[in-house]
Structure 1
Amino acid sequence: MTSPEPIGLLLDVDGPVASPVSRTVRPEIIDALIALAGAGWPVIFNTGRSDEFIREEVMNPMLAAGIPEGITFHAICEKGATWFSFDAGGATAVEVDDALALPAAFGSEVRRLVEDQFADHMFFDETKRAMVSIEQRLDVGNADYLDRQGPFDAAVLEIMQHFDMGVCRLAHHLPDSDDSVDYRVDPTIISTDIESVRVGKDLGAERALRLIEGEVPHTWRTVGDSRTDYAMADYLHEHGYSVAHVDVRPADGVPEKPYPVLTEGELTNDDAGAAFLLRCAETAVLPVVEPLR
């Protein structure tokens, strides 16, 4: 039998689910996610990744492992700008919020910047539909990539001024609330996203709740590897849900929050994600025990 009170899972992908080194998902995580969904837990991915990445690195391995009939997974991509669902029959059509998309000409100019000056360390992500992103090459060390990330981010801000895109800032220079900013440049440990300030993990959480068919669980676990991922738990807490956030890279600093923040000891990234998800799967899927007579 299954746990009587399913818990909702809202998962960042890079870090807790997919390795930031190989960009792939280990089989035990795939199995745990399928087991949790089979136990009635809504499993929703809330990521800055594109829908293509989720299909290739998450959905296809799940299909190969065997998604049971009647189970649906949801994927919020590009921090809420695109989304789709998938089940044993494959994926639905991708929904795109065109109001959040960056100008195509701007994306072309960023692609040219990468090709001309930064191609030795990063590549332009051709799969994004709304935001503009670059990513560390797999054959480049992270320290070398990070040395070039700062100059790239500065060059992008100059391009944004040229395209008259309004007020643009680096994400870590933004206050908690500033209605004057239109776009942000958001660097992570392996990428930089250039995006509307209206996208974010809180927007992803809002879309996630709308996608759930049937009763929405009161209790949630959100899982992420960066400070911006806390916005998932912030949104759920502010809207009356019971939530705890699992931080798989707490060394970056754990902020004070009105809800519990959980870690997996010394484990980080998908090591921590695997430990958390496997433990959840073990407790969510309980053996059938005959009552004593």
Structure 2
Amino acid sequence: MVSLSVPLALLLDVDGPIASPVTRDVQPRIIRDLLRLATGGIPVIFNTGRSDTFIKEQVMGPMIAAGMSPETRIHAICEKGAVWFSYTADGATALHVDSSLAVPKAFADDIRTLVAQDYASHMFFDETKHAMVSVEQRLDVSTADYKAGQELFDAQALELMFRHGLTALRVDPTIISTDIESVRLGKDLGASRAVELLAAAHIVPQAWRTVGDSRTDYAMADWLHHHDHEVKHVDVRPADGVPDKPYQILTAADLGLDPDVIHDDAGAAFLAKWLDMMAG
């Protein structure tokens, strides 16, 4: 079968660039522009620590409701590479789960109990994960209060992890959650799965744009660059510090926007820019 060359492929973190870390939902303009890009032949692939359930409810459902064309296919790599699926206007394909990357059930049960007994006022246990263990900030809790509780929780989770003898796991805190996961998981694994998914469809991007809001998201562009793909990384929260990389890094300031424009507002601006480039 002849391969299809496309000018650009998008590899997108979800929390931050696409979904608001405050409300957890996705702006209608972002849904609209993602659909326009995908319908125009630009591969759209989500690479997230979120579960398949979150993607189906917050992204897939709104995209289908907005009028997704029957030919459009979106890929979603969840739980940092452990879970993946695709979807069309007809809904989701079969879910793939790499069970070799899953956290042991006994440990997950202990974390669930810890949250229920000591931290339920600050966070909740994410029951939708297949491989990772995640706890997330409650929407009615302030960032400052959550951070204070998160630090205590992370320390106890690490102690539990060692008590179970799980040296191949790590505790990974974010601005709204803590993930406990296999050390083999990461946005780099997600990037490799993204390339495999497009290769299986005989799609060859001439270049990639990776988009994220944390330092760990740079692993997407790191992996692509290391494997000789042309890539630029978009950082929608550069105040955390922009590292020195061998590829170009873009921020809202590169679009002439106020540096205070971050997260999904910055993500929306970049989607609009790429649409303008396609039109031009």
TM-score bracket, normalised by the shorter chain, equals: over 0.9
Alignment of 1:144 with 2:132, yes or no, is: no
Name the counterpart of 2:262: 268
Opposite residue 251 of structure 1, the aligned amino acid is A
Alignment of 1:62 with 2:50, yes or no, is: no
Local SS of the residue matching 2:86 = strand
Task: Give the distance between the partners of 1:284 and 1:123, measured in 2 at CA.
Answer: 42
Matches within 5 A, 1:19-98: 19-98=20-99
Matches within 5 A, 1:6-25: 6-25=7-26
Cα contact 1:39–1:285 (8 A) shared by 2: no
Q: Please, what is the CA RMSD of the aligned residues?
A: 1.0
Cα contact 2:51–2:78 (8 A) shared by 1: yes
Name the counterpart of 1:196: 182
Cα contact 2:6–2:203 (8 A) shared by 1: no
Opposite residue 82 of structure 2, the aligned amino acid is A
Name the counterpart of 2:104: 103
Local SS of the residue matching 1:156 = helix
Name the counterpart of 2:256: none
Task: Give the distance between the partners of 1:198 and 1:91, measured in 2 at CA.
Answer: 26
Alignment of 1:282 with 2:276, yes or no, is: yes
Cα contact 1:6–1:39 (8 A) shared by 2: no
Task: Give the distance between the partners of 1:161 and 1:241, measured in 2 at CA.
Answer: 38
Alignment: residue pair count: 268
Mark the runs of 5 or more structure 2 residues left unpaired by the alignment: 254-258
Task: Give the distance between the partners of 1:229 and 1:218, measured in 2 at CA.
Answer: 21
Matches within 5 A, 1:92-241: 92-166=93-167, 182-212=168-198, 213-241=201-229
Task: Give the distance between the partners of 1:277 and 1:73, measured in 2 at CA.
Answer: 16
Greater C-alpha radius of gyration: 1
Opposite residue 222 of structure 1, the aligned amino acid is T
Cα contact 2:17–2:236 (8 A) shared by 1: yes
- Calculate the TM-score normalised by the size of structure 1: 0.90
Shift, 1:6, TM fit: 2.6
Runs of 4+ that moved beyond 6 A: none
Opposite residue 70 of structure 1, the aligned amino acid is E
Opposite residue 228 of structure 1, the aligned amino acid is T
Local SS of the residue matching 2:38 = helix
Mark the runs of 5 or more structure 1 residues left unpaired by the alignment: 167-181, 287-293
Q: 1:48-95: CA deviations, max 9, x gaps?
A: 000000000000000000111211000000000000000111001110
Q: 1:20-40: CA deviations, max 9, x gaps?
A: 000000000001100111111
Cα contact 1:67–1:87 (8 A) shared by 2: yes
Task: Give the distance between the partners of 1:5 and 1:68, measured in 2 at CA.
Answer: 19
